Amino acid sequence: MDIEKVNSMDFGEFVDVFGNVIERCPLIAAAVWSQRPFSDLEDLKKHFFAFIDALPQSGQEGILRCHPDLAGSELRRGTLTAESQREQSGAGLTTLDADERLRLAELNAQYRARFDFPFVLAARFSDRAAVSRELARRLLCRSAQELRTALGEVKKIGSLRLADLLRADPAKL
Ligand SMILES: NC(=O)N[C@H]1NC(=O)NC1=O
């Protein structure tokens, strides 16, 4: 898909196509559509991220809360979005043994109790061992720093999803 195609989309089509660039936050795509035309893919990505950066802290935490836990109950129930399902299975989170699942569930619960939002990590840059390690490490971080880290991960996930949609090299996005 090239940028002319993106710029030619009406509101409904744009939100259908880009509505899950940020997990379960189609409002962001709805807002970004108003900023068209986009000069290139980089420009499109900047608009998504600028929206996130301009939100008050409550809105940024709200975005994090739209993310399903990694290896959590939604994965077990099969209610993940298609994108999240792909990302979590690519990181090996669909084939954890019982001990690994329990450990992740405990760490996810501790993280949520400490920060009041779920642990978010771009699973496609990770694997099952690294997810637990990173969760345990980030549990010890300060809240303000952790919010910044988590939003950085949201942006990595969004960049990869945009790259998929536009079949672009993520390094150039
Ligand atoms: N909790 C969390 O990080 N979830 C996300 N990460 C990812 O790569 N896909 C998701 O849904």
Q: What CATH number is attached to the domain comprising 141?
A: 1.10.3330.10
Classify residue 34: in a domain, yes or no.
yes
Asked if residue 162 is part of any domain, the answer here is no
Q: What pLDDT is recorded for position 1?
A: 87
Q: What is the ipTM of this complex?
A: 0.99
pLDDT of residue 145: 98
**Ligand 1: residues within 6 Å at CB?**
23, 67-70, 84, 87, 118-124, 157
Q: Is the pLDDT of residue 169 over 90?
A: no
In this structure, the answer to whether residues 88 and 118 fall within a common structural domain is yes
- Together in a domain, 134 and 85: yes
pLDDT score recorded for residue 167: 82
Q: Which tens digits make up the pLDDT trace of 60-90?
A: 999 999 999 999 999 999 999 999 999 999 9
Q: Is the pLDDT of residue 173 over 80?
A: no
Q: Same domain, yes or no, for 54 and 91?
A: no
pLDDT above 80 (res 171): no
Same domain for 15 and 32? yes
**Atom number of ligand 1 nearest to Cα 126:** 8
Report which ligand 1 atom has the smallest distance to the Cα of 91.
8
Query: In terms of residue numbers, what domain contains 108?
Result: 69-156
How far apart, in whole angstroms, are the C-alpha atoms of residue 111 and residue 98?
20
